[in-house]
Amino acid sequence: MSFQTYLDNIQAKTRKTPDDFRRMADKKGFTEKGKIRDGVKTGEIVNWLKADFDLGHGHAMAIVCLFQGKKTEST
């Protein structure tokens, strides 16, 4: 499955775009301007995504990759 397909599936399930996740992570203090803040552990973000959005581990990791700078087709 491609990275973009993961993001498409996440959006279909949650109705949230990659930019929505970036904004929410900024508000929660996990990221700053869409990038993971120093000291924030990947597991913290994964646990948030699993708990709040019922994402599986692979889909949560796709969002983490997004925060780490992996590009989507549209960004």
Q: How far is CA 11 from the centre of its chain?
A: 11
Beta strands in the chain (DSSP E): 31-32, 35-36
d(C-alpha 73, C-alpha 75), whole Å: 6
Give domain limits for the chain: 3-67
In this prediction the pTM is 0.88
- pLDDT at residue number 75: 46
pLDDT (mean) for 2-16: 95
How does pLDDT run across 12-70, given as a tens digit for each residue? 999 999 999 999 999 999 999 778 999 999 999 999 999 999 999 999 999 999 999 88
